[in-house]
Amino acid sequence: MGSKNRELAQIFDRMADILEFLGDNPYRISAYRRVAELIANLSEDIEELYRSGKLQKLPGIGASTLLKIEEFLKTGRIKKYEELKKKVPEELIELMDVPGVGPKTLRVAYDKLGVRTQEDFIRVLKDGSLARLPGFGPKKVENILKGIDLWRRTKERIHIIEAYPMAQEVLSYVKEAEGIEKASVAGSLRRFKETIGDIDILVSAPKSLWRSIHEHFVSYPEAESILARGETKSSIVLKNGRQVDLRTVEPESWGSALQYFTGSKEHNVRLRDIAKEKGLKVNEYGVFVASTGERLGGKEEEEVYRLVGMVWIPPEIRENWGEIELALKGEIPKLVEPRDIKGDFHMHTNWSDGTNSLEEMAQEAHRLGYSYIVIGDHSQSARVANGLTPERYAQQWKLIEKLNEEYEPEGLKILKGCEVDILPDGSLDLPDEVLREFDFVVASIHTGFNQDNTYRILKAMENPYVNLIGHPTGKAYGQREGYPIDIERVIRQAKETNTALEINTPRADLAPELVRLCVEEGVTLAVVTDAHAKAHLSFMRVGVGLARRGWATAESILNTRDLQGVKEFVLKKRKLMGSDA
């Protein structure tokens, strides 16, 4: 997806926010919101769609919307948006991104309490004056303060699913420079950390070419400004506000530099301590004998680790979480690899709240070389997501059967699935007679977060037809920290009932320490993209990174099994839980 898509979707959303703040016509506001969502979910580049004339034909894009999009693509701005922005203090517009703060709240604060800046707003939250207004109260105000805290933290960092494609684009641009021997991302991105501060890129090349490589780098078309341009290090800021650092090193120092700039800092500090104990010195230039300064090596990363007496450590687990001690004993586990992945268990189509058709999702899965996918549209109670009734699932199965006639001979099996809602009382949104007809069932909590979520999930896992718990902690990156839940109990019961737990890539749920706990307990995990458009299926690479951060091996990951293995997994639970299969 092009970066213009994201920018445009944000503008339409912003316009809706401002109109709502101004008390405009609700129909116009919701029309803008729908356009924003439509653009955000497009799987193709909007410029491409516009040029080919396809955008003009999309349902939901009216004449005036089209004019605005056209204006943006041609001039980089939308006049209407510029005018609207002038009507509201800029700081208040920014606050509309805070979870739990909408235009309506800000309007009340503006009218009744004279709030004009972010500082004003935080003051009326803290001194109790907003809480005293009708419709607010201390609980709500407390939630807003939590939201502001989360917003501030996420503003500085971005989700790796956003940063990853960005970094790949910069990297391939950098590689066009002349004379480059090796190039790689480093830093938190290479470690597949859930959130990324800045993007680090490392290049090895003969020193004589460094200057021209940095010149090339700072001319990156997506760069908005240049923070530093040097011989060894340059930094740019992309149009979306992200910083990218480029460092150049001599080919003989490649391994040491890559090791150093990959981090984490904590891992590096520990590694250097160990080296010191052995009379060695490790820095970004190489490994040396401390007393004499004699250089022992550093051309490859593997060599750096070997010289200090360790086996190579995968970047994803370089956090000083015990990996160094294991590497000294040569006992680093073999982590799951991207090429082990044979399918995806959680995706949506336009039968519920996805943007692409079932046919398009299948086609993309086939292109990715998958052996199977589970179509997991929402169930009926999810009204906003256009959830399916048993009748509509039955219709969808017919389509799946038809598509399988085409795809099965090609090696892709489309499995009948659903993402069934776990209702507030822990019962499921579909009856057992329907659930048993699916090949694979994902069950998730989407509403009623203040209920007993632990009980709800434990109960859902007792159902013989539920194979996977979707986003088990309820964490939704940048929106929610997760609902209250006794996750350790959930993990124990997942093991006992042969139910898998989800590593949900866009939500960054489960966290690495929980993945690791699951692996230790022998719980099966599924890496999913929760795709709502075909382009999202490519999140899988990041999902595997998140799994590796939790030390997951191929055995722990359900996606590494073949179709037969998945069927056995489903059947095993049905037998275990006393269903007649």
Examine residue 576 and tell whether it contacts ligand DGT (CB under 6 A): no
Residue nearest to ligand DGT (CB): 263
Contact 438, 418 (CB under 8 A): yes
Q: Which does 268 bind (CB under 5 to 8 A by kind): Zn ion, ligand DGT, Ca ion, none?
A: ligand DGT
Examine residue 298 and tell whether it contacts ligand DGT (CB under 6 A): no
Which of 22, 58, 228, 269 contacts ligand DGT by CB under 6 A? 269
Element (H, E) at 326: helix 323-328
Which long-range contacts link 33-41 to residues 24+ away (Cβ below 8 Å)? Answer: 34/60, 35/60, 35/61, 35/65, 36/9, 36/10, 36/11, 36/12, 37/9, 38/355, 39/5, 39/8, 39/9, 39/12, 40/5, 40/6, 40/9, 41/354, 41/355, 41/532, 41/533
Which is nearer to ligand DGT, 261 or 551 (by Cβ)?
261
Among the listed residues 468, 470, 477, the one whose alpha carbon sits nearest the alpha carbon of residue 500: 468
Q: Which does 444 bind (CB under 5 to 8 A by kind): Zn ion, ligand DGT, Ca ion, none?
A: Zn ion
Which is nearer to Zn ion, 203 or 347 (by Cβ)?
347
Residues 408-447 close enough to bind Zn ion by CB under 5 A: 444
Examine residue 493 and tell whether it contacts Zn ion (CB under 5 A): no
Question: In 10 A of CB 463, how many CB atoms?
Answer: 23
**How far apart are CB 480 and Zn ion at their closest, in Å?**
12
Show the site string, 148-187: x = touches ligand DGT by CB under 6 A, - = not. Answer: ---------------------------------------x
Element (H, E) at 391: helix 390-407
Q: Which does 558 bind (CB under 5 to 8 A by kind): ligand DGT, Ca ion, Zn ion, none?
A: none
Examine residue 349 and tell whether it contacts Zn ion (CB under 5 A): no
Examine residue 264 and tell whether it contacts ligand DGT (CB under 6 A): yes
Q: Token pair 């803008």 is at which residue?
A: 32
Examine residue 198 and tell whether it contacts ligand DGT (CB under 6 A): yes
**How far apart are CB 272 and ligand DGT at their closest, in Å?**
7
Q: What backbone phi and psi angles, to 5 degrees, belong to 49?
A: -60, -40
Examine residue 477 and tell whether it contacts ligand DGT (CB under 6 A): no
Examine residue 256 and tell whether it contacts ligand DGT (CB under 6 A): no
Q: Which does 263 bind (CB under 5 to 8 A by kind): ligand DGT, Ca ion, Zn ion, none?
A: ligand DGT
Q: Which residues contact 220 (CB under 8 A, 6 or more apart)?
A: 170, 173, 236, 238, 244
HEC letters along 529-574:
CCECCHHHHHHHHHHHHHHHHCCCEHHHEHHHCCHHHHHHHHHHHH
**How far apart are CB 179 and ligand DGT at their closest, in Å?**
24
Helix (H, G, I), strand (E, B) or coil at 386: coil
Residues of this chain that interact with Ca ion (CB under 5 A) are 187-188, 198, 200, 245
HEC letters along 458-490:
HHHHHCCCCCEECCCCCCECCCECCCCCCHHHH
Residues 436-465 close enough to bind ligand DGT by CB under 6 A: none
Residue nearest to Zn ion (CB): 444
Examine residue 227 and tell whether it contacts ligand DGT (CB under 6 A): no
Residue ranges that bind ligand DGT, judged by CB under 6 A: 187-188, 196-198, 200, 260-261, 263-265, 268-269
